Chains A and B, each alone.
Chain A
Amino acid sequence: MNYSIVRAIKFAFQDFWRNIWLSLVTITVLVLAILSVNILVSLSAISNKIVESVKDKVDISIFFKSEIDQAQIDNFQIKLKNIPEVKEVILITKEKALEEFKQKHKDEPKILEALKEVEKNPLADALVIRARDTEDYNKILGVLSLKENQDLIKFQNFTDHKKIIDQINLISSKIEKISLAITLIFVLISILIVFNAIRVTIYTHKDEISVMRLVGASDRFIRAPFIIESVIYSVFSIGIAIVLLYAIFGAIGPYLADFLQTYNFDLIEYYNQNFFMIFGAEFAVVLLLNAISCSIAVRRYLRG
């Protein structure tokens, strides 16, 4: 059995070299298919990152009237925290706010001067509310608009980024649709090309195959080299695609970083972190598609 496996692998590699141009075309198409899948993966990673960080910026700030005391604020904070949609409520006391304000303007003596003129702290105690999901803010705003709550609040500030988020989602889903279509085309072409490559290999070996049958080689042994050949295609194409992808990321990295400056997103790092998940899944799919098209070719052309 071991001898058979070693020989089947040897035969497979011989075929691979003997039909090197066919092998190269097959692998090229597979590489293109894998690359286009990865465009899809990168785009959705980027747009997810952007949407995530925009969503992170969404919050509601409420500022309390000056006569409200600490106990009332604490109460209010507990009440907000009990709303299930609320992720966190951060208290910013007016002392802390003043501290931050001074820190921020420490190089602007005019502003600090002006602050000294006002003897009392002009700032208000505030709470910053973050919801679990952007969809949840409406409910929280509803709660805040109740009369009993409005009585405590001097003013509130809700920065809604809904429009931006919607727009990002729209653009990215359009791009994803286009690259999905391209990917599907490549996948289809790859199936045909692998099928054809195996068919040609079988054809160039029809004499050997008939002799194998004649002398009693098992069907499994006769098929094995072709299946192994399709595995070789898969391994080479995923390997080449990985090298190319990292080269491409390296080349576009600076531009991408420029474009995504505020979002602090590194595609290479993203791929490094998800290397085995992304390429493992892609390899599994490529292998599966190759094995299927190969076994259809084998079934059709290895009869008799």
Chain B
Amino acid sequence: MIKFRNVTKYYPPDTYAVKGINLHIRQGDFVSIIGESGSGKTTLIKLLTAEEKISDGHILLGGWDISNIYNREIPILRRQIGVIFQDFKLLKQKTIFENIAFALEVCGSPSSKIKTIVPQILKVVNLYHKAERYPTQLSGGEQQRVAIARALIHRPKILVADEPTGNLDFANTREIIDLLKKINELGTTVLLVTHDREVVNLLKKRVVLLERGEMVSDEKVGRYVI
């Protein structure tokens, strides 16, 4: 599904954000990426979503080598990878419904499709009853669920979460992790970047450890050891 081959990102003059990463992620995997601050976790995600250009090596998605992707192909890539962040990135002046609908609108979906799909996805994240609220009227956990709903709207094969629970308390964190597990069980590959020891230990899934841009371990059922 996703293959990192010798992936390196170099920021002149002397920073190797990631260096020689080799990683194979299969369809349906749930992989946590852990590591200290500055170890290159976010950089790895940015390379996967083509937000940053790869300096050396290749990333293969299915059979598609995205290491030299054209700008006009990036939207196609982004519709296949849903991404969520610590800060949700919701639009404050739009309701929950509109926030999710926006993702479809700007990609050219017909209105009829938007009207049927958005309620469906809101039910998946259990927020259908709050569709007309604004993001500021929701808890952090709920906001992150909206972001997840939006990330899933194009039915991507991969969901990438960069510290999705970084702003959340324990109860909300559990809720989000449970939701990610559920999404993974439904067949979506999940790539989770996290700092949170509890989360990793709770998950009992594959764990990749980065250190100063290099991969130092890859365990089937990892534990947070730092």
> Do A and B associate with each other?
yes
Give chain A's interface residues, CB within 8 Å of chain B.
1, 3-4, 7, 207-208, 210-219, 221-222
Secondary structure at the A interface, as helix, strand, loop or mixed, is helix
Give the 5 A-B residue pairs with the shortest CB-CB distance, closest first: A216-B78, A216-B79, A217-B106, A215-B103, A4-B108
Q: Do residues B78 and A214 form an inter-chain contact, with CB atoms below 8 A?
A: yes
Chain A residues with Cβ below 8 Å from B77 are 216
The verdict on B150 contacting chain A, using a C-beta distance below 8 Å, is yes
Say yes or no: is B171 at the interface (Cβ < 8 Å to chain A). Answer: no
Are A214 and B83 neighbours in the complex by a CB distance under 8 Å? yes
Residues of B within 8 A of A219 (CB): 71-72, 75
Contact partner of A215 (CB less than 8 A), chosen from B71, B72, B107, B110, is B107
Excluding A3-B109, A216-B74, 16 further A-B contacts by CB distance (< 8 Å) are A3-B110, A4-B108, A7-B108, A211-B89, A211-B91, A212-B106, A214-B83, A215-B106, A215-B154, A216-B79, A216-B107, A219-B71, A219-B72, A219-B75, A221-B108, A222-B106
Question: Inside 8 A of B18's CB, which chain A residues have their CB?
Answer: none
Q: For B102, what are the chain A residues with a Cβ–Cβ distance below 8 Å?
A: 208, 211, 215
Docked complex: B72-100 residues within 8 A CB-CB of A: 72, 74-79, 83, 89, 91
Contact flags B196-213 to A (C-beta < 8 A → 1, else 0): 000000000000000000
Q: Shortest distance in angstroms between A11's beta carbon and chain B's nearest beta carbon?
A: 9
Query: In the bound complex, how far is the Cα of B19 from the Cα of A296, in angstroms?
Result: 37
User: Nearest A residue to B49 by beta-carbon distance?
Assistant: A214
- Report the nearest B residue to A8, measured CB to CB: B106
Instruction: Judge whether B105 is part of the interface by a CB distance below 8 angstroms.
Output: yes
Cβ of A221 and Cβ of B106 under 8 Å apart? yes
- Nearest CB to that of B113 among chain A residues? A3
Q: How many angstroms from the CA of A96 to the CA of B213 in the assembled complex?
A: 108
Let me know if A7 and B110 touch, CB within 8 A.
Answer: no
Residues in B whose Cβ lies below 8 Å from that of A3: 105, 108-111
Q: Which residues of A contact B89 (CB under 8 A)?
A: 207, 210-211, 214
Measured between C-beta atoms, what is the minimum distance from A141 to chain B in Å? 72
CB distance from A225 to the nearest CB of B (A): 10
> Using a CB-CB cutoff of 8 Å, which residues 50-89 of chain B contact chain A?
71-72, 74-79, 83, 89
Contact size range, B: 20 to 34
B78, B153, B154: the one contacting A213 at CB < 8 Å is: B78
Closest to B111 in A: A3
The residue in chain B whose Cβ has the minimal distance to the Cβ of A221 is B106
Q: A211, B111: Cβ atoms under 8 Å?
A: no
- Kindly state the separation between the CA atoms of A216 and B108 in the bound complex, as whole angstroms: 10
Q: Which of A3, A4, A214, A219 has the most CB of B within 10 A?
A: A214
* Per-residue interface assignment for chain B, residues 140 to 167, with 1 indicating a CB less than 8 Å from any chain A CB and 0 otherwise: 0000000000100110000000000000
* Interchain residue pairs with CB less than 8 A apart (7): A208-B102, A211-B91, A211-B103, A214-B78, A215-B78, A216-B75, A219-B71
Bound: A7/B76 CA distance, A: 20
- B103 nearest CB neighbor, chain A only: A215
Q: How far apart sit A255 and B77, CA to CA, in the bound complex (Å)?
A: 67
Contact B108 A215 (CB under 8 A): no
List the A residue with the shortest CB-CB distance to B104. A215
Q: Closest residue to B77 on the A side, CB-wise?
A: A216
The answer on a CB contact under 8 Å between A208 and B91 is yes
CB distance from A58 to the nearest CB of B (A): 65
B91 to A218, Cβ gap below 8 A?
Answer: no
CA distance A262 to B46 in the complex (A): 77
Whole-angstrom distance between the Cβ of B190 and the nearest chain A Cβ: 17
Minimal beta-carbon separation of B79 from chain A (angstroms): 4
| Residue on B nearest A10 in the bound complex, by CB | B105
Cα separation A126 to B74 with both chains bound (whole Å): 86
